A and B are shown apart, each in its own frame.
Chain A
């Protein structure tokens, strides 16, 4: 198998905050179209892992590859930093990030939020982007909310808008950082439905989540992180149905109940 059949590849990633090592030598690779869920208790390093991929956190060591291209890194104050700012920005533009607390820009309408990246970063024309943005927002069920500001919407609506914003960049990989953790329980379903549709259409996705049932349903592969290491990985049925390690078994059963 050639390297480039992987959409995203992480090699021996390490991350320390001061003297605390949060990620200890984590390697993982996602084939194109693969949906991988990262699970684990809080503090296991799963969010940090995701945030290292687009350098929102600077890893201490390791390699990051996107479609076989290595992200150029050099030693900096807070760890490995982008050696080539433009390359890092290009990487980020191809990695669609969805945050736990939505992070929609508060001073822009939903439509402006979705159009901002394609127009400003990808330098596409407003007319083109407008059409696509409206279509995307309709797809996530926000056709009526184009001109609403984030503060006027529910958490579920905001998160769906944030997903549309990430999709508008036509990313190669979608990164979800606990996308439903900040939502009221009754709003979780509508967001999961959107994510499920993306998984079904064959997008490459890395998903940090506490929604075990959802992870089991949509993932091709599930990775259980413990103390900054991959403790166990496998198909959803293996990992949830017949976990090999005791820790993973305990974690899965405690969540399932």
Chain B
């Protein structure tokens, strides 16, 4: 037991500091990717609901394709192909090659994947807003933009929140896939610590506990948010 505490100590030769740094990277990527995914998803939902045929068809293609392909493959594809593409473009412009920063690459790649899922979550939530509420907004003379800002978006959020909370948890775990492109988030740090010490069980349990803590804290925050968003609804006991 003492041995385990030594191994998990925050200062070297303990590996605890590495694990926490990994967790921090994981949270950073997850937050960035989630925010990007929400932006893409919200715009995507508006596009699917109100866009012309070309836009709707493009978005359908995006959401179908991204949701069909395993995320590991998407990450490998977008990461390597994305870097290649960027450097080809830069090369043709006469600029030097660049190495994409792992953090940003991770955020873009996972955010792009998340965007496809959250498009569907937002689209469903917007369609769930009762037409009665919309008609009341129209009848006082609200413009479409104001109607969305004041009525439709606040009312659709409670419908979207359970789906969005799920997506957040999936995002935090998707970051582990970035280990395959060598980004040192929690999973990769754990593997390195375990490999160096041969204490596989200890370190993977420790990592599991950190992921679990992240989930528990997230649940708490989403719970508070849901309570706030559902403030006008009749209480169901």
Contact = CB atoms under 8 A, between A and B. Distances in A.
Interface string A140-161: 0000000001111000000000
Given A116-B150, A149-B231, A106 B155 contact: yes
A104 B150 CA distance: 13
Interface in A74-122: 85, 89-95, 97, 99, 101, 103-109, 116-117, 120-121
B133 A105 contact: yes
Contacts of B231: 107, 149
Nearest to A162: B136
A94 B14 CA distance: 72
A103 B135 contact: yes
Contact of A93 (B136, B141, B151, B154): B141
B231 to A, nearest CB: 7
Contacts of A93: 140-141
A95 B140 CA distance: 8
Contacts of B138: 54-56, 92
Interface in B128-167: 132-133, 135-143, 146, 150-151, 154-155
B232 interface: yes
A206 interface: no
Interface string A54-75: 1110000000000000000000
Contacts of A105: 133, 136-137, 151, 155
Given A106-B155, A121-B142, A151 B136 contact: no
A107 B154 contact: yes
> How many B residues are at the interface, by size bracket?
20 to 34
A89 B133 contact: no
Contacts of A117: 140-142
A152 B141 contact: no
A85 B151 CA distance: 19
B201 interface: no
A23 interface: no
Nearest to A95: B139
A169 B140 contact: yes
Between B133, B136, B142, B155, the greatest number of chain A beta carbons within 10 A of the residue's beta carbon is seen for B136
Contacts of A152: 234
Contact of A151 (B135, B139, B140, B233): B233
Contacts of A104: 136
Interface in B201-237: 229, 231-234
B154 A99 contact: no
Given A121-B141, A169-B140, A108 B232 contact: yes
Given A99-B136, A120-B146, 10 more contacts: A85-B143, A91-B141, A92-B139, A97-B136, A103-B133, A104-B136, A109-B232, A149-B233, A151-B234, A165-B140
12 contacts: A54-B138, A91-B141, A92-B138, A95-B139, A99-B136, A105-B133, A107-B231, A108-B232, A120-B150, A121-B142, A150-B232, A152-B234
Interface of B: 132-133, 135-143, 146, 150-151, 154-155, 229, 231-234
Q: Which 7 A-B pairs have the closest CB atoms?
A: A93-B141, A117-B140, A97-B139, A103-B136, A92-B141, A151-B234, A149-B232
